[in-house]
Amino acid sequence: MNASVDSRSFRAAREDEWRRLEALLTICEKSSPRELDDDGLMALPILYRGALSSLSVARETSLDLELVTYLEGLCARAYFFIYGVRTRPLQRIGTFLAHDWPAAARALWRETVIAFLLLAVGTLAGYLLVASDPSWYGAFMPEELASGRDFSASAESLRKTLYDGDGQSALAIFATFLFTNNAQVAITCFAFGFAFGVPTVLLLLMHGGMLGAIFALFVSHGLGWELGGWLIIHGSTELFAILLAGAAGLRIGWSVVFPGDCTRLAAAARSGKLAATLMVGVVLMLAVAGLLEGFARQLIKDDMVRYAMGLGMLTLWMAFYYLPGRKHV
């Protein structure tokens, strides 16, 4: 009974201040802090400290749970308003593009180098295997997707797929497959990173093998340079996105294998937050690659211009992520 009386008297002595703080917070949340007058702005931090003091007393004296819960919610609202960072949606997007996204890529630069080496090894292996024995081509390229683009094709027919309108229909199907496959590889490299990074490693090697097999085919017909130009317009962006996605998956896998002082779940969650930030950027890169594939590659037929555009995009991405003078996180 005494506890009940103490709770009522405690509430009665301070409830007016709590109600005023609640009213000020409601105004700010529903409209804007500009709606508060000078007295309201001055009173807000004072009332917040008073509410914190009341919460401390309520907890120490074991007052009723309903009162403690109310004060906890009130103090939390006041804290996030007074000390929290409030940004507008456009400002938040700008912060992501200017800082969060490139910072996440820089934080994973070691994993990105490893992903590049894995892709390069796969590409070299695929090229050498197919160049030495064309029967390996079918192991890397599904038959339904090859559809004439194999070692039985003539150099002229393969050339037409790169430049002439007659070959654009068939090649468009193949190009759509490449983009779809690359997007799937990027997402899968990230998604399966938690499995100790093993699927990520295998995917990068397999994707490199497919790329090497395609080059072995066209090089055998004297069209390696031409194929490079056909691919690089969008490939410099698309393959870079795959490397970053692979880096994100490798970071998660590494944290699972070597969690340090944290549990494996906590270490994976911490790495996953950074990796997920980078993956948002990877999706944007794939969208850019889709635009380059859909328009630039179809309109530009000159090899030098194709290479200039592809290498130019690669330079822009490298500058965006790793421009000297930016701080590493």
Residue of higher predicted confidence among 122 and 326: 122
Q: Is the model's pTM score more than 0.75?
A: no
Report d(CA 142, CA 140) in Å as an integer. 7
Cβ neighbours for 171, distance < 8 A, ≥ 6 positions apart: 161, 162
Nearest of 230, 197, 224, 199 to residue 212 by alpha carbon: 224
Exposure of 294 by Cβ count < 10 A (0-12 exposed, 13-18 middle, 19+ buried)? middle
DSSP assignment of 229-289: HHHHHHHHHHHHHHHHHHHHHHHHHHHHH--TTS-HHHHHHHHHHHHHHHHHHHHHHHHHH
Average pLDDT over residues 260-287: 85
pLDDT, residue 197, reads 81
User: Scanning the structure block, which residue is given the tokens 């097999």?
Assistant: 213
C-alpha span between 79 and 175 (Å, rounded): 53
Mean pLDDT of 228-236: 91
What are the b/e assignments for 111-141, b being 16+ CB within 10 Å?
A: bbebbbebbeebbebbbebbbeebebbeebb
Range from 59-68, 100-109, 250-259 carrying the lowest mean pLDDT = 59-68
Query: Higher confidence at residue 181 or residue 131?
Result: 131
The pLDDT of residue 304 is above 50: yes
Quote the CA–CA distance of 228 and 221 in Å, as a whole number.
Answer: 13
pLDDT over 90 at 7, yes or no: no
| Residue 83: C-alpha distances to residues 25, 45, 48, 62, 76 (Å) | 13, 10, 11, 28, 10
Question: Shortest CA distance to 225 belongs to which of 170, 281, 304?
Answer: 304
Please provide the average confidence, as pLDDT, over all residues in the chain.
83
Residue reference for tokens 């194999």: 150
Instruction: Write down the pLDDT at residue 325.
Output: 54
CA dist 197 → 140, 149, 151, 186, 261 (Å): 22, 33, 35, 13, 20
What pLDDT, on a 0 to 100 scale, did the predictor assign at position 32?
67
125-134, 149-158, 211-220, 223-232, range with the lowest pLDDT? 149-158
Asked if the model's pLDDT at residue 328 lies above 60, the reply is no
Average pLDDT over residues 306-312: 95
Copy the structure tokens of residue 279.
């993956």
Task: Give 169-197 as a DSSP string.
Answer: HHHHHHHHHHHHHHHHHHHHHHHGGGTTT
- pLDDT for 145 equals 63
- Asked if 106 and 326 touch (Cβ cutoff 8 Å), the reply is yes
DSSP for 104-134? HHHHTHHHHHHHHHHHHHHHHHHHHHHHH-G
